[in-house]
């Protein structure tokens, strides 16, 4: 490199080797590194910044192994610097480079810097028909990236129960998903906004977004998503005290789970139905749902779900026995006492006092 006059490439090459301890284990990677560095330097001397960009980008993509992450990040950063010098492509490569840097910071967990780069990517790509190698438009990629980043940023506010700020950020994520045209992501984003409103206590707004999620899931034939929407809507209705409507939505959740053979969701729906009927002191119905949940947990082989359902069945059966049993004790007549003695001898699930 020195003999050919590539002094800067030489310095860059050996600077990287000093940090890159694995280079001795992967000598095959050294020649592409030398080749693209010298090409980039030669192109920069000639003012061919598109070629500079392409060579740095090629190196970033070449170093794809997990242990090469830092060197990949380094070349993505260099490609961004060179993209800013290109004047004849209306900002296309600068947009691409910001998208790459957004992904870099997203991988590093620096969501604020990821947001900054993705917002630049979005602003440059909006209204353009630029596409990547897979045929996806840069605009849609920017929208999807911002949806992911805004969702991650909102998690911090949700953890601190700052629901107002979380809703603002999650709504931006929803708007980006909608603009990007990815219906599944749009539905999930609407679901997250709905849950945030639910936590904030605004059940009307929560139901609006959750209903949007349900509509999208129906259009996509997404039974799991539809069941998730029904369960969340039922929760909002329960909070509002609309228990009958809540039960209707939980029954829809159970029905769609059964029709789509999603036993885990069906087990969850039965548990939810058992719980809500228990709160309404409907012991017999409650026992039926908890028993179904227990049987499903057994077939699924889920020990935690089985133990929870088993405990709920036991408690529900005890509550179902309590009222007639207590009445028989209070009555205290001969026939009631005989019924109590007979029940204690056989210990059936139900208790019937025939004295009345």
Chunk the chain into consecutive blocks of 10 residues (it has 356) and report each block's average pLDDT, rounded to whole numbers.
53 60 60 78 85 93 84 92 93 96 95 98 95 92 97 96 97 98 96 98 98 98 97 97 96 96 95 87 80 92 90 78 59 61 59 49
Tokens of 40: 């980039």
Question: Domain 142-261, what fold?
Answer: 1.25.40
Cβ 234 vs Cβ 250: under 8 Å: yes
Numbered ranges of CATH 1.25.40.10 in the chain: 1-126, 142-261
Cβ 47 vs Cβ 41: under 8 Å: no
Q: Could you tell me the pTM of the whole model?
A: 0.83
Instruction: Identify how many contiguous H helices and E strands the chain contains and give both numbers.
Output: 16, 0
- Distance, CA of 40 to CA of 30 (rounded, Å): 15
Q: End-to-end CA distance of the chain, in Å?
A: 105
- Distance, CA of 330 to CA of 339 (rounded, Å): 13
> Which runs of E-coded beta strand occur in the chain?
none
What is the pLDDT, as a whole number, of residue 280? 73
Q: Distances from the Cα of 196 to the Cαs of 152, 162, 192, 233, in angstroms?
A: 14, 10, 6, 13
Long-range Cβ contact pairs of 275-284 (< 8 A, separation 24 or more): 275/312, 276/234, 276/238, 276/243, 276/246, 276/247, 276/250, 277/247, 278/312, 278/316, 278/319, 279/243, 280/243, 281/319, 283/316, 283/319, 283/320, 283/323, 284/320
- Distance, CA of 97 to CA of 118 (rounded, Å): 10
Does CATH place domain 1-126 in 1.25.40.10? yes
Tokens of 130: 């630029």
What is the pLDDT, as a whole number, of residue 261? 94
């Amino acid at each position: 490199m020195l003999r050919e006059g590539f002094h800067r490439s030489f310095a860059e090459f050996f600077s990287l080797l000093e940090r890159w301890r694995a280079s001795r284990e992967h000598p095959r990677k050294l020649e592409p590194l030398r080749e693209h560095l010298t090409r980039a330097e030669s192109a920069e001397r000639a003012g061919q910044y598109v070629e500079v960009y392409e060579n740095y980008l090629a190196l970033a993509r070449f170093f794809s192994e997990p242990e090469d992450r830092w060197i990949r990040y380094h070349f993505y950063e260099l490609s961004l610097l060179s993209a800013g010098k290109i004047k004849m492509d209306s900002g296309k490569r600068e947009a691409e480079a910001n998208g790459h840097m957004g992904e870099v910071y997203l991988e590093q967990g620096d969501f604020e810097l990821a947001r900054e780069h993705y917002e630049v990517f979005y602003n440059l790509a909006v209204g353009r028909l630029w596409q990547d190698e897979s045929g996806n438009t840069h605009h849609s990629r920017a929208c999807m990236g911002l949806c992911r980043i805004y969702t991650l940023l909102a998690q911090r506010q949700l953890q601190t129960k700052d629901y107002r700020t979380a809703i603002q950020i999650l709504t931006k994520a929803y708007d980006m998903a909608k603009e990007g045209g990815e219906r599944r992501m749009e539905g999930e984003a609407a679901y997250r906004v709905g849950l945030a409103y639910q936590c904030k206590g605004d059940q009307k707004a929560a139901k609006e977004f959750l209903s949007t999620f349900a509509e999208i899931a129906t259009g996509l034939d997404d039974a799991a998503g539809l069941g998730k929407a029904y369960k969340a809507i039922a929760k909002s209705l329960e909070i509002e005290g609309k228990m009958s409507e809540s039960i209707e939505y939980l029954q829809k959740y159970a029905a769609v789970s059964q029709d789509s053979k999603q036993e885990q969701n069906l087990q969850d729906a039965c548990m939810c139905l058992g719980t809500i009927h228990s709160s309404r002191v409907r012991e017999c119905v409650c026992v039926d749902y908890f028993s179904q949940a227990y049987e499903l947990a057994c077939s699924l082989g889920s020990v935690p779900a089985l133990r929870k359902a088993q405990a709920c069945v036991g408690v529900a059966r005890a509550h179902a026995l309590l009222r007639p049993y207590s009445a028989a004790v209070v009555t205290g007549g001969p026939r009631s006492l005989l019924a109590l003695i007979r029940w204690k001898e056989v210990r059936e699930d139900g208790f019937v006092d025939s004295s009345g």
